[in-house]
Amino acid sequence: MNVNVIWLAIGIVFMSFTIIYFRLARKSSQQVSLKDIKIDKLDEEVFTPPQGVGQQTITTIGPDGQISSETRSQSLKSIASQLNKATEEFEQHLNRNIFPKVKEHLNEIYRTGKQGFLIAGIVSVISMVLAFLSAFQVL
């Protein structure tokens, strides 16, 4: 096999690396976009007993003999309300404090990755040019 053909093949391999690295660098330059999180809340009405009743227990027997019971009371409604309030506070904490920091760190990682891909692309271009010059016996 001719040495020039080998150098030409090496140049083509580096040309494909160049294309790949520059495409990765371009994709890495995009900014990270994080949407605010929305957590489902409990329906407090499910836990609310009828007016004037302190606690209500509904027991049902299914066609297969399965017994299920559902309890409604003001204390359960109060617990559901407190859980909804805690969920709202946690949701706000995530959206205000955590997600901006995560976004900042991801953008930094992508920026560093872009720089690395650009450097690799430049090295690949230099290698490709040297391989092609060797293939055509310019060097």
How does DSSP assign 72-139, residue by residue?
A: EEHHHHHHHHHHHHHHHHHHHHIIIIIHHHHHHHHHHHHHHHHHHHHHHHHHHHHHHHHHHHHHTT--
Name the maximum alpha-carbon separation found in the chain.
98
The 10s digit of each residue's pLDDT in 60-75 is: 888 888 888 878 888 8
The 10s digit of each residue's pLDDT in 73-131 is: 888 888 889 999 999 999 999 889 998 898 888 888 888 888 888 888 888 888 888 88
Mean pLDDT of 28-35: 77
Q: What is the pLDDT confidence band of residue 33, given thresholds at 50, 70 and 90?
A: confident
